[in-house]
Amino acid sequence: MNMLRIGTWRSAESVDVVACGWHDSGPGPYRTGIRLIYAGDGPMPEFPGLRVCARPARNAEEIAGLLCAGLDVVLTAPGCCPAAPVVAAGMWHYGWTRDDEGPLAGATAAGLALVARPGPCAVEIWRDGRSSFDTLHAGAR
For 71-119, what is each residue's pLDDT tens digit?
988 888 888 888 998 999 899 889 999 999 999 999 999 989 888 887 7
Q: What's the pLDDT tens digit per position in 16-65?
A: 566 666 655 555 555 556 778 777 666 667 888 889 888 899 999 999 99
Residue 47 belongs to some domain of the structure:
yes
Q: How many residues does the chain have?
A: 141
Query: Rounded distance, CA 12 to CA 1, Å?
Result: 36
Residue 141 belongs to some domain of the structure:
no
Residue 38 belongs to some domain of the structure:
yes
- In this structure, which amino acid lies at residue 73? V
Three-state DSSP class for residue 33? strand
Query: Rounded distance, CA 93 to CA 125, Å?
Result: 10
Domain span including residue 34? 2-135
Q: What is the domain count for the chain? A: 1
Does this model's pTM top 0.85? My answer is: no
Residue 127 belongs to some domain of the structure:
yes
β-bridge pairing 17-24 and 131-135: unpaired
